[in-house]
Copies of this chain bind each other. A is one copy, B any other.
């Protein structure tokens, strides 16, 4: 019973991602998402309180899964350097391989109300903190400069990667995103290394 509910919940999220990717944020009416999910409009409201909640859940779900992947991948690494490389690798590869998701997270979901963006911010936070931990680890390992401000640095790193992805999307994906990993990580390591 719970699993059937969970199942339909996922179906609606999948439908929402597809509809948003195809029609854009403002062209994604509840009725369109319902149709794509193969349920009635009213059914949506058995699983989500408001339309916004679909988007928040969508972001939480997708980003949550990404952060899980980050965490488990990092545990296979020894140094902060390796961890940072892994993070950038997954970040770029994952979004390159899932253009719908990239479009939704980088473009569409940012066109939302301030309340929604705050909720989305909460989903991003674990990722930003993950980056901060890596920076701190690097400092402890003496591979990163001790005078680094981890709070500032995490934003510099996240912002840089985020913008690279967005500009890649807006350019029309004319080049490989994953091909930027090495240069990007080089940039970071040069900036961070002691």
Interface positions of A (Cβ within 8 A of B): 24-26, 107-108, 110-114, 117-118, 121, 145, 148-149, 152-153, 155-164, 166-167, 170, 180, 183-184, 187-188, 190-193
Contact = CB atoms under 8 A, between A and B. Distances in A.
Given A24-B114, A113-B26, A167 B155 contact: yes
Which of A112, A152, A153, A161 is the most central at the interface, judged by chain B CB atoms within 10 Å of its CB?
A152
Given A108-B114, A145-B190, 16 more contacts: A24-B113, A24-B114, A110-B110, A110-B111, A111-B111, A111-B112, A121-B170, A152-B180, A152-B183, A155-B167, A156-B163, A159-B164, A162-B163, A163-B163, A188-B191, A190-B193
A192 to B, nearest CB: 8
B159 A162 contact: yes
Contacts of A153: 187
Contact of A160 (B118, B160, B167): B160
Given A24-B113, A110-B111, A158-B163, A118 B170 contact: yes
Contacts of A157: 160
A111 B117 CA distance: 9
